[in-house]
Amino acid sequence: AIVVGIMISGLSTHYFSDEHNSRILIPALHWLFPSATPRMLHLMHLGIRKLAHIVEFGAFSVTVFRSVRAGRSGWRWNWALTTLVVAVAYASLDEWHQSFVPLRQATPRDVAIDTFGALLAQGMVWWYATRKWPLVGLPQTQAGLEGLQSRETGKPYVFED
């Protein structure tokens, strides 16, 4: 989580401002979509930048969850809520930091987008935890699987060598 947080802080510098990365992204987008209007290129550039917020705070959320979980298996509401509080706090601090950086601006909308990324990632963590983790670490014998049922079929689990 610390490494991802440092990465987010690095991406909040003026080197990754709209003005700097548009010099690379807009020509690349124009090359990929030669018939796109300047407005469309600008909107695609904006979309990529906002998608980056979702991805980076999604990754941050997953790594914070792993830290909060502290090696335990499964999923709990309090772990997810703690993770979301940390992600929202860090998103707010990130935007506050950007208010002091030349060529950057702080917006509540970006905090909302970051929060959406963290929520989306926590939804994926929940889905994975309720589908896979319940069967991880179970004894690999028929006796150990006794009483478990398949989610898909509802039939008892059968262990085969």
Please state, in angstroms and rounded to a whole number, the distance separating the CA atoms of residues 110 and 112. 5
Matching residue, tokens 């060598």: 161
pTM, two decimals, is 0.68
Report CA dihedral (100, 105, 50, 75) to the nearest 10 degrees.
Answer: 50
Question: What phi and psi, each to the nearest 5 degrees, are found at residue 13?
Answer: -80, 170
Determine the pLDDT at residue 48.
87
Query: Is residue 111 a contact partner of residue 104, using CB atoms and an 8 Å limit?
Result: no
Please state, in angstroms and rounded to a whole number, the distance separating the CA atoms of residues 141 and 155. 17
Please state, in angstroms and rounded to a whole number, the distance separating the CA atoms of residues 5 and 64. 10
Across the chain, mean pLDDT equals 79
pLDDT at 120 over 90: yes
Mean pLDDT, rounded, for 109-119: 94
Lowest-confidence range among 99-103, 114-118, 122-126, 145-149?
145-149
Which of 126, 136, 118 is CA-nearest to residue 59? 118
Please state, in angstroms and rounded to a whole number, the distance separating the CA atoms of residues 160 and 144. 12
158: left (phi over 0), alpha (psi -120 to 50) or beta: beta
Determine the pLDDT at residue 64.
94
17 or 139, which is more confident?
Answer: 17
Q: What is the pLDDT of residues 24-70, one digit of tens each?
A: 778 888 899 999 998 998 898 888 888 988 999 999 999 999 999 88
Q: What is the pLDDT of residues 75-97, one digit of tens each?
A: 888 999 999 999 999 999 988 88
Mean pLDDT, rounded, for 116-132: 89
Determine the pLDDT at residue 155.
67
